[in-house]
């Protein structure tokens, strides 16, 4: 079965501190991996995707296939980073064609204190 | 930019009533889906569609029905509302698989 685990429901850090949001997945094949974010009173939106190898708002995420993890990291947290974060693999068939549907973790609420 | 539009934003239903949550997108996306968001459960996929006329079940389809007669619209029908269906519902769309998924603002549904 496909499973995504975000072990921390709540994560609090102070401004300027490093932050790491953990994500472990159990998925058949080679899923595409995403992080989505939901800021207060805003709709859920893409933060970053593994295939792009990009850094968005200072966040990066490294895929560790051996550990099946896709942790989200930022070296210096800012107050505006306070939000709900979801790790979400996207399944694909054996031929690599994505199903276009995400499996979401339970989410981590990040609070960055001043 | 309308993007993904959901209506209504808030709804209170009595147990046993039926209703339809509307979802429309103006981005010519082939893939559309419905999720529900519950505390401690994350978002769970209810139904999805990879194109007009094609729908399939997600993780929690029971009690819900969908159809996709046009590319733009993907309504979600609650056949006989139950308190367990109290949740926040999100519609989403993407151009195709592997691409960014865009979400609606959510519909807050309470079943009493």
What pLDDT band is residue A1 in, cutting at 50, 70 and 90?
A: low
Give the integer Cα–Cα distance in Å for B24 and B2: 9
Q: What are the b/e assignments for A86-102, b being 16+ CB within 10 Å? A: bbbbbbbeeeeebbbbb
Per-residue pLDDT at A96: 55
The answer to whether residues B105 and A43 touch, using CB atoms and an 8 Å cutoff, is: yes
- Cα distances (Å, whole numbers) of residue A114 to A14, A73, A107: 6, 19, 23
Give the integer Cα–Cα distance in Å for B33 and A103: 12
Kindly tell me if the per-residue pLDDT of B83 is higher than 60.
Answer: yes
Give the model confidence (pLDDT) of A23-54 as tens digits: 998 877 777 889 999 999 888 999 988 877 77
Q: What are the b/e assignments for B50-86, b being 16+ CB within 10 Å? A: bebeebeebebbeebebebeebbebbbebeebeeebb
| Alpha-carbon distance A19 to nearest alpha carbon in chain B (angstroms) | 21
Give the model confidence (pLDDT) of A54-98 as tens digits: 778 999 998 887 878 999 999 999 999 999 999 988 765 555 556
Per-residue pLDDT at B55: 93
Q: What is the mean pLDDT of chain B?
A: 93
Per-residue pLDDT at B99: 74
Say which range, A102-106, B63-67, B104-108, has the weakest mean pLDDT. Answer: A102-106
Query: What residues of chain A lie within 8 A of the CB of B94, using their CB?
Result: 100
Per-residue pLDDT at A94: 54
Per-residue pLDDT at B40: 78
Q: Least CA distance to A39: which residue of chain B?
A: B105
Per-residue pLDDT at A84: 95
Per-residue pLDDT at A55: 79
Q: Inspect the interface and report whether the beta carbons of B98 and A103 lie closer than 8 Å.
A: no
Nearest to A8 by CA among A79, A60, A84: A84
């Amino acid at each position: 079965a496909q499973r995504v685990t975000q072990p921390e429901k709540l994560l609090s850090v102070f401004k300027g501190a490093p932050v790491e949001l953990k994500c472990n997945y159990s998925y058949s094949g080679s899923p595409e991996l995403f992080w989505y974010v939901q800021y207060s009173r805003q709709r859920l939106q893409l933060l970053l995707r593994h295939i792009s190898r990009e850094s968005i708002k200072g966040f990066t995420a490294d895929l560790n296939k051996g550990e099946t993890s896709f942790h989200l990291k930022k070296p210096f947290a800012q107050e505006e980073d306070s939000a709900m974060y979801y790790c979400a693999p996207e399944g694909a068939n054996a031929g690599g064609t994505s199903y276009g549907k995400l499996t979401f973790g339970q989410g981590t609420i990040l609070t960055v204190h001043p | 930019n309308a993007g993904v539009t959901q209506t209504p934003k808030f709804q209170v239903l009595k147990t046993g009533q039926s209703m339809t949550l509307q979802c429309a997108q103006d981005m010519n996306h082939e893939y559309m889906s419905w999720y529900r968001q519950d505390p401690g459960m994350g978002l769970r996929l209810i139904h999805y569609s990879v194109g007009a006329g094609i729908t399939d079940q997600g993780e929690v389809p029971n009690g819900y029905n969908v159809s996709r007669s046009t590319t733009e619209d993907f309504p979600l029908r609650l056949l006989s509302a139950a308190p367990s269906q109290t949740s926040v519902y999100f519609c989403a769309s993407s151009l195709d698989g592997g691409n960014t998924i865009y979400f609606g603002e959510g519909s807050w549904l309470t079943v009493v």
